[in-house]
Structure 1
Amino acid sequence: MTAKVLFIHGYPDTHRVWDPVRAQLKGYDTVAPDLPGHGRAMPRGLTGTRWDLAAWLTAELKKFSRPPHVVAHDVGGMVLHSVLIENPELVRSWALTSTTHPDWPWHHNARVWQTTTLGEAARDEYLAYPRKYQVIGLTEAGVPAAHAPVTAEYYDRTMFDAGLAFYRSSVYLGDWWPAEDAELPPGLVMWGARDRYQTPEWGVRLAARTRSRFVALDSDHWWPLEQPEAGAAELKRHWAAVDKN
């Protein structure tokens, strides 16, 4: 029996970012929940810090009767690092984009969000724009034009505040970088060859660290939207190898 597949999105996204990939996976049992505060209300007691998201993902994984394959992008990939370190037994296999390398410097937007007052000013400025200008801004940030209106529809104050909480708790992520001798489930590192936020070299380092296969797709940061067919094909190849063992 093939394991189920859990997809975890990033920021500022919802589960909808996975729709093109999941459409290529007919016959697979896939689940794609929204991160807390992303397209839905923030659950009581959570704020969106990286520790909140790690606890949430751990709880989601414990709902499965058998460990699922997990595919994670962007912030979701960073949070998955925590689970792989703390609870690897909950994961059948993993595939992710975005690392927690201790030397990686955060990109410009993240540094703004991590800064008190500047982050709130960026939030308020964005939310004050008419929707068409929000869409333009998201497109300029790399969100594919066809998907930017969908992102803008759900990128509200709740999601922005969740993002501020995550980025401010994540100035340093080196404690989530896997140990060199870590016993991890089988992994796949998938990356956009032109990723503007984390260049592929970071993915190459992660693949070497975890003894995993590295794949560069012909895309910018949002490979699930830009290369869903190629990404799904690599995932099928990865899962087939894992499930054969």
Structure 2
Amino acid sequence: MPAILIHGVPDTHRVWAGVRRHLTRTDVEAWDLPGFGAPRPLGFGSTKEEYADWLIGRLEQVGEPVDLVGHDWGCILTARAACLRPDLVRTWAGGNGPISARYPWHPLARIWQDPVEGDRFMAELTPEGFAADLISGFEVPGGPAREMARHVDAPMRDSVLKLYRSAVRMGAEWEPDLAKLTAPALVIWGSRDPACPVEFADELGRAIGAEHVIKLVDCNHWPLLQQPERVAAALEEHWRRHSPSPGGDHDRPAGS
């Protein structure tokens, strides 16, 4: 029963590196979404539906239910997959990704959703400027901020715009299906997140019947970068509560 970690925007699998260093289990994989450090399949339009379908297809290939974890858009997409295909998910954990008709998209998202302003933003984006914004606006540590910004290439910029433009009404469209998420669930949220207010952690927890909602009071939008050891500890406790046996499958080597 492997654990699969899914990043958000504008990240790649690298965003999970700190958390993975604090995990004791070995069967953990962090996947790149198409366009985010991985090629986009031919004809892939980078819409929210296509990302959810892609994730479900990858999970089907694993061949057994997984411990599924997501952050930001990774939270949204993994929750969607767990709603549509509960048979593929043993446990679910996610955070800092609202799925609510009451959630107003944050200011940067609204820029990306605008065809003119979004294109202009991406055309003028520089790694140095973006890293500085992440540090000042979201308290991302300097090293991870510069690493994140360095990987925002042309395919990622295009994917971000197409994803957000497909998701103007995502909350209203996907919220009703949250009741279908039957896997034991954990919500982990940075309480000082200016883009995704912490009130939506409680709302998501209620909608999916989460066993626990953990609010990290000293964290912003990226708890996995600011407090990776605490995120790892919460995940391992969540998995341990639902492990078929002590140690058990969690100690087997991970696949590729």
TM band (smaller chain): over 0.9
Residue pairs, 1:71-90, within 5 angstroms: 71-90=69-88
Instruction: Report the Cα offset of residue 28 of structure 1.
Output: 2.9
Indicate if the aligned counterparts of 2:83 and 2:179 stay in contact, CA closer than 8 A. no
Aligned to 1:232: 232
Instruction: Report the Cα offset of residue 179 of structure 1.
Output: 4.4
Q: 1:156 aligned to 2:153? A: yes
Aligned to 1:64: 62
Distance 2:39 2:58 in 1: 17
Task: Judge which range, 25-34 or 8-17, deviates more.
Answer: 25-34
Amino acid at match of 1:32: A
Indicate if the aligned counterparts of 1:144 and 1:222 stay in contact, CA closer than 8 A. no
3-state SS in 2 of match to 1:94: strand
Q: What CA deviation, in whole Å up to 9, does each residue of 1:43-96 have, x standing for no partner?
A: 211121101110111011111121110110001111122212211111111001
Q: TM-score, normalised by structure 2?
A: 0.89
Amino acid at match of 1:95: A
Instruction: Report the Cα offset of residue 181 of structure 1.
Output: 4.8
Q: 1:139 aligned to 2:138? A: no
Amino acid at match of 2:145: A
Q: 1:38 aligned to 2:43? A: no
CA RMSD of aligned residues (A): 1.6
Indicate if the aligned counterparts of 2:79 and 2:92 stay in contact, CA closer than 8 A. no
3-state SS in 2 of match to 1:194: coil
Task: Judge which range, 45-54 or 176-185, deviates more.
Answer: 176-185
Task: Judge which range, 201-210 or 172-181, deviates more.
Answer: 172-181
Amino acid at match of 2:39: A
Q: 1:198 aligned to 2:196? A: yes
Aligned to 1:91: 89
Q: What CA deviation, in whole Å up to 9, does each residue of 1:151-190 have, x standing for no partner?
A: 1211012101100011000001122115475351110011
Aligned to 2:252: none
Q: 1:161 to 1:141 in 2, by over 3 A?
A: farther
Structure 1 gap ranges (5+): none
Q: 1:117 aligned to 2:116? A: yes
Aligned to 1:241: 241
Q: TM-score, normalised by structure 1?
A: 0.93
Amino acid at match of 1:188: L
Indicate if the aligned counterparts of 1:70 and 1:92 stay in contact, CA closer than 8 A. yes
Residue pairs, 1:45-56, within 5 angstroms: 45-56=43-54
Q: 1:146 to 1:180 in 2, by over 3 A?
A: closer
Distance 1:133 1:118 in 2: 17
Amino acid at match of 1:237: E
3-state SS in 2 of match to 1:112: helix
Residue pairs, 1:169-184, within 5 angstroms: 169-173=166-170, 174-179=172-177, 181-182=179-180, 184=182
Aligned to 2:250: none
Q: 1:204 to 1:138 in 2, by over 3 A?
A: same
Aligned to 2:14: 16
Q: Once the two structures are aligned, what percentage of the paired residues are identical?
A: 35
2:209 is matched with which residue: 198, 208, 211? 211
Distance 1:180 1:83 in 2: 10
Distance 2:112 2:160 in 1: 8
